[in-house]
Structure 1
Amino acid sequence: MTTVSNTSGSSYIDSLKGVTDGTKKEDSGALTQSDFFALLTQQLAFQDPTKPVENDQMIAQMTSFTMADGISSLNTNFKDFAASMNSNQALQASSLVGRNVRVNSDTLIFDGTNKSYGAIEVPGKTTSMKVSIYDASGALLKSDTVTNPDEGKFELAWDGTNEAGVKQTAGLYTMKIDATVDGKSQSLVTSSYVPVASVTLGTSTADMKLNLLGLGAKKMSDILEIAAG
């Protein structure tokens, strides 16, 4: 941009200084709309009369500022939205403490009194499946066979007793499912219902972890189901 150097009173830079010094800014490092239009007015006032600013140049400057200001506002709004989402996710996760969630696992958590619950994903053409429960040493405690189970999720409940009906102590136990599917033997995928002991919050939703009793930390995406009640 060309300026006229012999302007009476003060230089172009001095005029700009007077404008910026007299304008109150919310952020000393940011150019506000009022700053922009004040500078644009000064530019027009001190332009070379023989070479005035072209309309398309002025429009380009205004468009550029508007886009930059819009992008900045969008970034701020998105950050606020993301922070709100993280806060809501954290609140929802904290409400799960003390409740049971279902995750892929072959572990049954027995508290010494109440039944332990698990689930089995039964494929089509399954003619039989043997459910076996083992203690921490690997000793077989109890087994049962189910014939012609329906395809889909099969719920199981263990009362904590062995074949003799003796109640076991509280702890971690293992379930194993051996099935006959379409005439072939295979092990089936199992999941278990486990209490949420606590929640570990991170800087984002992806960092949030549910700490499950006996199974350690799990991501929110690992949760297959939240038990009612």
Structure 2
Amino acid sequence: MSAINGSIGQGGSLTYMDQLKEMQEKKVLDEQKVTGQNELKQEDFLSLLTKQLAQQDPFKPVGNDEMIAQMASFATVDGITQMNEQFGLLNTAMTSNQALQASSLVGQDVLIPKSTSYKTEEGGISGQVRLTNSLDQAVMRIETPRGELIRTIDLGAKGAGEHDIAWDGLDENGKPLPAGQYTIKVSGMVSGQNKEFDVFTNASVNSVLLGKGEGGVMLNLAGFDKPFNLAEVVQIGKAK
């Protein structure tokens, strides 16, 4: 009789499940040594199950309930594995399709939730301010990334809501400033206190790339060292 039957005959120290577990572990270790494979496939499970049935103790056969439960458990795990693989393929396909669609953005402007943007040699910076309160006099300030004030522009009275803003790239004396990054800030008096509001700026899209890690499509924007996530884009194209 086989080693499995012998172990059962000697006091029944190993149950059917214990024996199958031992055979599975031995199978994994053997395959790791030979092929580096570290998981059992469906054909491996069926092979082990067939051997167990052929070598079981005829006086203590495996119960139908136990057999069905084990096969159902393996089928469930195998189904989940296949489902995860399909989801992975679907995610890759969707990301690639999104990147293809996003490639049409190259050369266009996108509105991003940053108050700092890049000014070209002859251009300026446009964007949008979101006012949570009505203002009798809104003021727009242009600053360098270090906080140096370049120009102050009176925007006049503004109601609560979204408003397009633009700076022509000139300083207080009407001279064009060099290309580079500049920050736009908008503020006004609310209940006797000066309050700053959220500013969004337009940036030009240089190229599109697939994101790494969590995935997604990333945009390389003019004047920015790091790519920007497409999902964070507020608006495509400048407002008319």
Please report the TM-score for the alignment, with normalisation by the length of structure 2: 0.66
Does structure 2 conserve the Cα–Cα contact (< 8 Å) formed by 1:127 and 1:182? no
| Identical columns (%) | 35
Q: Answer with 216-225 or 201-210: which moved more.
A: 201-210
- What RMSD in Å do the two structures reach over aligned CA positions? 3.5
The aligned residue for residue 154 of structure 1 is 163
Q: Answer with 67-76 or 131-140: which moved more.
A: 131-140
Residue 225 of structure 2 is aligned to residue 225 of structure 1: no
Residue 30 of structure 2 is aligned to residue 3 of structure 1: no
Distance 2:238 2:185 in 1: 25
Distance 2:86 2:94 in 1: 12
Which amino acid in the other structure matches residue 32 of structure 1? Q
State the Cα distance separating 1:169 from its structure 2 match. Answer: 4.5
Instruction: Say which of 40, 56, 79 aligns to 2:88.
Output: 79
Q: Answer with 158-167 or 121-130: which moved more.
A: 158-167
State the Cα distance separating 1:39 from its structure 2 match. Answer: 4.7
Distance 1:38 1:215 in 2: 58
Write out per-residue CA displacement over residues 30-78 of structure 1, whole angstroms, 9 at most, x where no aligned residue.
4325x54455445444433322221112112212221221122123223
The aligned residue for residue 32 of structure 1 is 42
The aligned residue for residue 202 of structure 2 is 193
Higher helix share: 2
Q: 1:52 to 1:164 in 2, by over 3 A?
A: closer
Which amino acid in the other structure matches residue 31 of structure 1? K
* Matched residue SS, 2:212: coil
Q: 1:127 to 1:42 in 2, by over 3 A?
A: same
Which amino acid in the other structure matches residue 127 of structure 2? G
Q: 1:3 to 1:182 in 2, by over 3 A?
A: same
Residue 188 of structure 2 is aligned to residue 179 of structure 1: yes
Instruction: Say which of 50, 53, 56 aligns to 2:62.
Output: 53
Does structure 2 conserve the Cα–Cα contact (< 8 Å) formed by 1:125 and 1:182? no
Residue 136 of structure 2 is aligned to residue 127 of structure 1: yes
The aligned residue for residue 25 of structure 1 is none
The aligned residue for residue 145 of structure 1 is 155
* Matched residue SS, 1:109: strand
Please report the TM-score for the alignment, with normalisation by the length of structure 1: 0.69
Distance 2:201 2:84 in 1: 42
Q: 1:172 to 1:31 in 2, by over 3 A?
A: closer
* Matched residue SS, 2:106: coil
Does structure 1 conserve the Cα–Cα contact (< 8 Å) formed by 2:111 and 2:238? no
Q: What are the residue-to-residue correspondences of 1:86-105 with 2, within 5 Å?
A: 86-105=95-114
Distance 2:191 2:134 in 1: 5
Q: Answer with 38-47 or 175-184: which moved more.
A: 38-47
Write out per-residue CA displacement over residues 68-114 of structure 1, whole angstroms, 9 at most, x where no aligned residue.
21122123223223333333344344443322122233335333444
State the Cα distance separating 1:218 from its structure 2 match. Answer: 4.5
Write out per-residue CA displacement over residues 149-178 of structure 1, whole angstroms, 9 at most, x where no aligned residue.
121111012333455655544443333323
Gaps of at least 5 residues in structure 1 are 6-27
Instruction: Say which of 68, 71, 79 aligns to 1:70.
Output: 79
State the Cα distance separating 1:179 from its structure 2 match. Answer: 0.7
Q: 1:70 to 1:145 in 2, by over 3 A?
A: closer
